[in-house]
Amino acid sequence: MFSDLSFIEGEYLRDVLNQPQALEDTLEKLESSKALLNLAKRLNAGSFHRIVLTGMGSSFYALHPLCLDLINQGFSAIMVETSELVHYKSRLFDPKTLVVAVSQSGQSAEMVRLIEVNQKRAAIIAVTNTPESPLALQSDAALLTWAGDEFSVSCKTYVTALMALKWLNHVFREGDTRHTRQELREAAPAVADYLSNWKAHVRSLMPKAESDSVR
């Protein structure tokens, strides 16, 4: 039934297959700004009592590995969807809170509202694909991904956000990021190797898809 894979090909598949290049571009430009290093120093000095990790959709779920790492390191980290944060948990915005906000556009309604509600009370680290966005421009520090434009739902931005957040975790540790950069260099080749066999991966799922289609 699905022997012809041409129905899959299109703009979205091209975005998926461009993930390795997006990862390489992001890694090349990842840097620890003075503002970011200062926030990491304050975090380790105990200036922040909690770290609030926030985003919407895939941006929110990309924060899960960072949340686990931070808790394992002894920090008080929580994940809160941005819509819930700005409407029901706005009391978390205070000088003892460090916010890590992830957004592909950096200008969604939720992120714009986050900036408005916060009113510079909590420090914000933005992770975004859009350097001129309100989130990037009004945050205390920003980590940019370089995924480029996307046709529809996030795929390049998701993997590059994972990379940027991995980098951020090592910045928080105040260690030597050269080892981190070397470790992250393995990501793009690994993704490229997997995607080189995408047709085989799709065909391996066909029996299940055909079985479901006749029910």
pLDDT at site 5: 72
Give how many domains the chain has, as a whole number.
1
- The pair of three-digit structure tokens given for residue 61, joined into one six-digit string: 């779920």
pLDDT at site 200: 86
**11 and 151 in contact (C-beta within 8 Å)?**
yes
Local structure of 214: helix, strand or coil: coil
pLDDT at site 119: 93
**63 and 165 in contact (C-beta within 8 Å)?**
yes
CB count in 10 Å sphere of residue 159: 22
Query: Residue 207 is part of a domain; what is its CATH number?
Result: 3.40.50.10490
pLDDT at site 122: 97
pLDDT at site 9: 75
Three-class SS of 119-176: CCCCEEEEEECCCCCHHHHHCCEEEECCCCCCCCCCCHHHHHHHHHHHHHHHHHCCCC
Domain extent for 188: 5-213
Local structure of 102: helix, strand or coil: strand
Q: Give me the residues of the chain with pLDDT under 70, please.
A: 1-4, 7, 208-215
Q: How many CA atoms lie within 13 A of 19 on its CB side?
A: 25
pLDDT at site 7: 67
- The pTM of the full predicted model, rounded to 2 decimals, is 0.89
pLDDT at site 210: 61
Selection from 35, 54, 27, 79 nearest residue 185 by Cα: 27
